[in-house]
Amino acid sequence: MKTVTLTLEDLWVFIIRAVEFFIAAVLLILVILIFHKLRQYFNFVKANCSPAISSLSQIHP
């Protein structure tokens, strides 16, 4: 049977990689939420301003 030895440096590298993965996951979730909210906002603006935009396009074709 082969013996596996872990050094303190290996432990630190594992902890740092785990923290990096957690931060990347949180940032990805934040980006998804921001884009979702932006899409909701622009859908809201498009729904509420479409008569004004269509009347402007009739004035200035």
Rounded average pLDDT over 36-41: 88
CA distances from residue 2 to 5, 34 in whole angstroms, order as listed:
10, 49
Position 27 confidence tier, pLDDT thresholds 50, 70, 90: very high
- From CA 53, how far away is CA 37, in angstroms rounded? 22
pLDDT attached to residue 20? 98
Rounded average pLDDT over 1-23: 91
The residue with greater pLDDT, 30 or 57, is: 30
Two tokens at 5?
């030895």
Rounded average pLDDT over 25-51: 86
The residue with greater pLDDT, 6 or 19, is: 19
